[in-house]
Structure 1
Amino acid sequence: MASSDKEISYGDLKALLAKGSGLVVDVRSKDEVDRERIAGSIHIPVESVESDISLDASEFQFKFGIVKPSLDSSELVFHCQMGRRRAVATEKARGLGFKNSCNWVVWHLCHY
């Protein structure tokens, strides 16, 4: 992980979700998400992150049922099981201008 990566704890994630200011994107495979899912998250497999978060606002809302986060949204949090995929997703998002995107690093404390 690069030194500039922003990491978020489980407590920080819970606080973001409670106040509705964060979006959790689960970048695991469909099979993994079907077995256990984070309440309030959306599923975008890591290989689709770049194309899906590049959708225009209306296409994103139609596909995911939520408003697309703005480039300066407070938090765009990526989750996977071990860390590699979320790091890839975070870098893709940052490359598209989502400067506040971050890794959720305390994944094993989540209650699905």
Structure 2
Amino acid sequence: MAGVSTILLPELRSLLSSGRACLIDVRSREEAAAGTIPGALNIPVSELENALQMEPAAFQALYSAEKPKLEDENLIFFCQIGKRGSLAAKLAQRLGYKGARNYAGAYREWLEKEG
């Protein structure tokens, strides 16, 4: 399988401002509670495979959010520095999420530039 697609900060800003991104923070609950990108849904990477295979109603009940669809074009994962986000995007691609990408700059870059 080819490497995972990435997204850079300018494109992420544009997608977020237009409401066209589904953003998933795959850091731990503790990390996400300390600060995250506005609008991101926290699903720790350890739960991600199970979460992405749930029935939509179960996903909604557990995460209080709509489950991403396989055809979503901008399913963007991020972590603190990029490694877990890349793993998460690869996992999602393997499960059939064609638009899964990793925000390469991760939360560290977001905090520096946007925080």
Is the TM-score greater than 0.5? Answer: yes
Residue-by-residue CA offset, 1:54-108 (whole Å, 9 max, x unaligned): 1111111222222212101111111011221111111110111001100101223
Runs of 4+ with >4 A deviation: none
Residue-by-residue CA offset, 1:22-55 (whole Å, 9 max, x unaligned): 1111011122111111110000111111001111
**Which structure 1 residue ranges, 5 or more long, are not aligned?**
none
Corresponding residue number in structure 1 for 2:37: 38
Structure with the bigger RCO (C-alpha within 8 Å, sep 6+) is 1
Q: Distance in 2 between matches of 1:11 and 1:65?
A: 28
1:97 and 2:64 matched: no
Report the TM-score when normalising by structure 2.
0.87
**Which structure 2 residue ranges, 5 or more long, are not aligned?**
none
Q: How many residues align?
A: 111
Q: Distance in 2 between matches of 1:94 and 1:56?
A: 18
Identity %: 30
Query: Secondary structure, in 3 states, of the residue corresponding to 2:91?
Result: helix
RMSD, matched Cα: 1.6
Letter in 2 for 1:61: Q
| CA drift at 1:3 | 5.0
Q: Distance in 2 between matches of 1:75 and 1:29?
A: 22
